[in-house]
Amino acid sequence: MRISPRRAAAALSAMALVGSLSACGGDDSAGDAGAPLEFWTRSGPEGATTYKAILAAFTAKTGIQVNYQGVLEFDTQLQTKASSKKLPDLWVNDASLLGTYQGQGYTTPVEPGQIEGGDAIDAATWQQNKGLDGQLYGVPYSRQAFGTLVRVDWRKKLGLPQPKTWDDLTALATAFATKDPDGNGKKDTYGMVVPGSSKNGYIGWWGISYIWQAGGDILAPAGEGKYKSVINSPQTRTGLEFIRRQFCTPGNVVPGSLNLTTSEAPFFQEGKAGIYLTGPYAFGTYDKILGKDKYEVVPMPKGPVSTTTLGDGENIYFGAGSQKSDEAKKLAAFLISPEGQEIGMKAEESKYPTVRLPVNRGVDVHKVLGDPRWDLIQKQYLDDTKTFVWSIKFQPIRQALGEGVNAMMSSCDSDLDAGLKKLDQAITAELKAQDVLG
């Protein structure tokens, strides 16, 4: 594979950072042989509770002490740790950040044979973690597919069927907004919850499933580890037309959605909106607040081309410069073991699973959870999901996608063709800046 001067320089820079972190590892308490293993996750209180249950079982089994932190502002805090040459020994975060961590020199490569139980993860799942240099970065920990949640009590009260197509979904959203599904005599309900902010590319993350269902896409391989933008296509435009139809039909989307992130959009659990395309990690919260009988998970309604939905997941990453490699690998092995995966799935105390779909093929979702909703999520994941491109620094591209889609949804008269052209230029510029433009 041809290595360009710019990519070679970036590789040397990453190697220099790794070397610097390794040389200074002794300055960090995590590098002190007598200190606990330092482990981070991007988690709020509920997720942190589940991780603490896993870690308690790990320490009881191995005697290895762990200094655990659940961090919400994860990227900012990790950068601070890296700048002071004190990265955690290992952490769990989004699989889509693999290329970013590799490019920044934050994490080190790993082989399946280095992790006890690594052979219980399918080779195809391991290969999802391949970086641009051909090495594997990160141990797969959890995978998931996004699903469509619907207020089943509202749907049945209005005598409507489960949505099978985009038109059905649109009609259901309109009915929830106009036909008083909660029966309180007020016009105070809406169709869809949409985290539509451009911050962190939220609206692109939410809307990509509809773009894929129309046959559109963001990137396409261009050979030799490079990519090209394919966002400016008639198929993507069709997906955006569907999204804009929701924004421009009064009540189909919660008002003000273009300014909302996921943490600012509690409308489904508050009984204000009846449809939410989101991850299955929310089931436990909604079961407690709404009740399992109040909502359902339906098969993804079909777009013009497919029922494709976003596939995502989390990896275990090993911090560059750690002097606790052996202990870190033992913790990774426990996290992917049947015991670790099942504790993460059941989330008995918090009801917030940190393992959505297990990566260990010896763990059966149905036997562990006995919940047909999770069976449906697993079927969607296996049958019809796509992921973002994990091997490159995808976050800037997701950000460009979010800003572009957010701008196009801000007006019902916006020029989608002009918006797509501008978005294509932004994505192409970012690929060029990363030296992965083909």
Q: Which domains does the chain have, with CATH numbers?
A: 37-144+312-386 (3.40.190.10), 147-310+389-434 (3.40.190.10)
28 pLDDT exceeds 90? no
32 pLDDT exceeds 90? no
Per residue in 266-319, pLDDT (tens digit) is 999 999 999 999 999 999 999 999 999 999 999 999 999 999 999 999 999 999
Q: Which residues of 58-86 are buried (b: 16+ CB within 10 A; e: fewer)?
A: bbeeeebebebbbbeebeeebeebbeebb
Per residue in 235-266, pLDDT (tens digit) is 999 999 999 999 999 999 999 999 999 989 99
Taking a C-beta distance cutoff of 8 angstroms, is the pair 313, 140 a contact? yes
% pLDDT > 90, the chain: 91
User: What's the whole-model pTM score?
Assistant: 0.90
Indicate the pLDDT class of residue 20, thresholds 50, 70 and 90: very low
Residue 34 is predicted with a pLDDT of 75
Q: Chain-wide mean pLDDT for the chain?
A: 93
In whole angstroms, give the CA distance from residue 431 to residue 438: 8
Residue 27 is predicted with a pLDDT of 37
% pLDDT > 70, the chain: 92
Indicate the pLDDT class of residue 226, thresholds 50, 70 and 90: very high
Q: Show the beta-strand stretches assigned E in 259-333.
A: 273-278, 296-298, 309-318
What is the rounded average pLDDT of the residues 11-38?
50
What 3-state DSSP class applies to 66? strand
Per residue in 119-169, pLDDT (tens digit) is 999 999 999 999 999 999 999 999 999 999 999 999 999 999 999 999 999
The pair of three-digit structure tokens given for residue 59, joined into one six-digit string: 């320490």
